[in-house]
C-alpha cells in the first residue's frame, strides 16, 4: 500500500507541475500585446537589406530582424508578434553593404539610411529614446519609418 501512495503522490506532484506550467503559459499569453507592423519607406536603392531592432529602452533590444527590400515598391515591411504590452522604440538601418552596422564616412557622417519610430528630425547624433517610443497594447499597431540619408 505504501508503494501505491508514493505513486499517487508522484502523480499529484506531476499534475501540479503541469498545471503550474499551463498557468504560467496562460499568464504569459495574456501579457502579450497585439502585432507590431513596421513599414519602412524612403530607400535610395535596393542594395543590401533592412535591419530592424525593437527596443524596450535605449540599451535593450527585445526583437531584431533582417528583411529584404521590395524592389518594386522600394519599401520593406514586417510584423513582430509575441511582444509584451509596453513601451517600445524601433530603429531601422538600410544596411546597403550587408555588414550588420551603420557605416560612416571620414568625417563621421552616416553613409547608409537609418530611421526611428516617430520619425524624429534629422540631426547629428541619435535621438533620445523618449522621442522614438510608442505604446503597444492589445490592439495591433502599425508604424511607418521614413529613412534618413545624408548627402
- Supply angle C-alpha 85, 87, 92, rounded to 5: 115
Q: Give 12-46 pLDDT, tens digit per residue.
A: 333 333 334 444 443 444 468 889 999 999 999 99
Same domain, 110 and 75: yes
Query: What digits encode the pLDDT tens for the residues 65-124?
Result: 999 999 999 999 999 999 999 999 999 999 999 999 999 999 999 999 999 999 999 999
Count up the domains in the chain and report the number.
2
Residues 47, 26 share a domain: no
Give the pTM.
0.79
* Residue 23 structural domain: 1-31
Residue 55 to residue 87: CA distance in whole angstroms: 9
Amino acid at each position: 500500500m505504501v508503494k501505491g501512495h508514493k505513486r499517487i503522490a508522484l502523480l499529484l506532484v506531476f499534475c501540479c507541475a503541469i498545471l503550474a506550467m499551463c498557468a504560467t503559459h496562460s499568464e504569459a499569453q495574456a501579457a502579450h500585446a497585439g502585432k507590431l507592423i513596421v513599414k519602412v519607406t524612403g530607400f535610395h536603392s535596393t542594395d543590401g537589406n533592412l535591419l530592424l531592432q525593437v527596443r524596450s529602452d535605449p540599451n535593450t533590444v527585445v526583437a531584431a530582424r533582417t528583411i529584404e527590400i521590395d524592389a518594386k515598391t522600394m519599401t520593406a515591411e514586417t510584423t513582430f508578434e509575441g511582444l509584451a504590452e509596453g513601451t517600445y522604440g524601433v530603429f531601422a538601418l538600410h544596411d546597403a553593404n550587408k555588414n550588420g552596422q551603420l557605416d560612416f564616412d571620414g568625417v563621421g557622417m552616416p553613409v547608409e539610411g537609418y530611421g526611428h519610430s516617430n520619425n524624429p528630425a534629422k540631426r547629428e547624433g541619435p535621438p533620445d529614446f523618449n522621442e522614438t517610443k510608442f505604446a503597444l497594447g492589445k490592439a495591433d499597431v502599425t508604424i511607418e519609418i521614413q529613412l534618413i540619408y545624408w548627402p
